[in-house]
Amino acid sequence: MPSALIICTEVFANGGIQRFNRTLLDACGGLGIACAVLSLNDSAETVRAHAHDHRHHVAGFGGNRVRFAAAVARQLLFGRHRRVLIGHINFLTLCVGVLALRPLRAATLMLVAHGIEVWSGIGSRRALALGRVDRILCVSHYTRRRIDEQVPGLDDRRFVIFPNALADSWRQTVPADFTRPVPQRFILSVTRLEPGDRYKGVATVIEAFSMLSDAEVHYLIVGHGRDADFLRAMAARFGVADRVHFVRGVSDAELIGLYRRCEAFVLPSGKEGFGIVFLEAMFFGAPVIAAREKGAVDVVRDGETGIAVPFGDVIAVKRAIERLAADSVLRERLRANGLSLVTDEGPFTFASFARRCLAQLGPETADAA
C-alpha cells in the first residue's frame, strides 16, 4: 500500500501546478515514498504515456468528476495511507466530509496552497474545513498571508512554507538548436496566452517594447492561446508587429537555447503564486524582470536576483529593459545571484525540494492526526 495519497487536478500537462505535481512525484520516487495519485483531469491514455515510475500508481479520470469523487471517497474510507495530500482547495470540503465518516483515521491531512485559488473567496465552508487540516503547505509567503487574513485563528504551526523548485529533469535535458529563424538580439516571455491570463503582463511588455529606442531588439513570446490575436493586434497598433514574434511548439530542449540567448526574460505578472518559470530562466542564465507582486517576490528580489517593477507600470518595464541592456555588471550580478537560487545548496533546487518532501511525507516524521 502506498504511504501517501495525492489528490490533484492534473499531472501530465503544461502549467505551474502540473509542474509542481510532477516535481513532487519525482522527489517522492527518489526518496522511496510510494504514492497513490488520483488526478481529475489526466486521461487514462495520458497516464499510460507518461507515468514511468512504477513506485507510484496514478489514476486519471479524464475530467469525470463523479468517478473522481467516488474514487477519492473509496481511498479515504478504506485506504491505509499515512499521508493524504490535497493538491487543490477545490477538493478540500469533499475530503474533509468523507473523512468525517472515519473519525479514527490515522492519516495526516495536508493541503497544498499554490496561489490565486486561495487568495480570495475561501468562504465559511472551506474555512471550517481548513480547521481540520493538519498542515497547509504554502508555496509562497504571500499565499500563507492571504489564507491567514481570510481564516484568522489558524494555528501558526499548521502553516509550512513549501516553495516550488526547478525540476531535476531540466539538468538532464540536452539543449537543441532552434530550427526556426531567431533574431540575433531579443527579450523573451514564456506563458499561456489566454484572455484570463492577461495579468501575466505580456501586453505591458509589448507597449514598453514599442518605446525602446533600440530597433535592433526583438520580442519573442513563447506560448499559445486564444489571446494571441489580441496581442498581435496590439503589437501592430504600437508599430512593432515586425519585431514581436509569437512562437508555438517549442520543446524544452529548444527553450533552453532561447533562455541562454535572450537579453532578458520579462514577465511582469501580477498574480504569480510562485513563478516556476523564473527559476527556469535563472538556471539557464537569463536576467529576469518581474512584477513586485504576490509570490514572485520570494524569487525575484529587486537588484539582487532580478529587477522587480510595479505591476502594470509600462515605463518601469521599459527602463528595466534599457537598464539591463546598458549595464553589463548588473546583468552578470543578476545572472550569478539567480543561478545561486537553483544550484548547489540554493533554496529552489530539486535537492532542497526533496528534503521538504521528506520532512512532510517521510514515514519517520509521521505523527498520527
Strand partners for 68: none
Rg (CA), the chain: 21
What are the distances in angstroms from CA 97 to CA 7, 47, 66, 93, 128? 15, 28, 16, 6, 11
**pLDDT tens string 248-257:** 988 888 999 9
pLDDT of residue 175: 74
Percent of all residues in the chain with a pLDDT value above 70, rounded to a whole number: 97
| Residue entry with cell 495520458 | 46
CA separation for the pair 249, 179 (Å, rounded): 11
**pLDDT tens string 72-108:** 999 999 988 989 999 999 999 999 999 988 876 678 9
How much is the average pLDDT of 3-26? Answer: 92
Residue 365 has pLDDT above 70, yes or no: no
pLDDT of residue 2: 62
Residue 367 has pLDDT above 60, yes or no: no
Residue 270 has pLDDT above 80, yes or no: yes
Q: Among 363, 369, 365, 360, which residue's Cα sits nearest to residue 85?
A: 360
**pLDDT tens string 165-222:** 988 877 777 777 777 788 999 999 999 999 999 999 999 999 999 999 999 999 999 9
pLDDT of residue 167: 83
Query: Using the 8-state DSSP alphabet, how is residue 84 labeled?
Result: E
pLDDT of residue 366: 40
Rounded to the nearest 10 degrees, the angle between the axes of helix 328-341 and helix 276-283 is 120
Strand partners for 37: 6, 58
CA separation for the pair 246, 206 (Å, rounded): 12
**pLDDT tens string 128-169:** 999 999 999 999 999 999 999 999 999 999 999 999 998 887
- Mean pLDDT of the chain, nearest integer: 92
pLDDT confidence of 45, banded at 50, 70, 90?
very high
Query: Using the 8-state DSSP alphabet, how is residue 124 labeled?
Result: H
**pLDDT tens string 209-241:** 999 999 999 999 999 999 999 999 999 999 999
**pLDDT tens string 332-351:** 999 999 999 999 999 999 99
pLDDT of residue 288: 97
Label each residue of 278-336 as H, E or C: HHHHHHCCCCEEEECCHHHHHCCCECCCEEEECCCCHHHHHHHHHHHHHCHHHHHHHHH
Residues 99 and 76: beta-carbon distance below 8 Å = yes
Query: Using the 8-state DSSP alphabet, how is residue 87 labeled?
Result: -
| Order of strands across the sheet that contains 307-309 | 244-247, 218-222, 186-190, 264-267, 288-291, 307-309
Instruction: Tell me how many degrees the CA angle 83-88-93 measures, rounded to the nearest 5.
Output: 80
What are the distances in angstroms from CA 330 to CA 183, 325, 338? 23, 9, 12
153 by Cβ neighbours in 10 Å (0-12 / 13-18 / 19+) ranks as exposed
pLDDT of residue 368: 34
Full-model pTM: 0.89
pLDDT of residue 188: 98
pLDDT of residue 51: 73
pLDDT of residue 369: 34
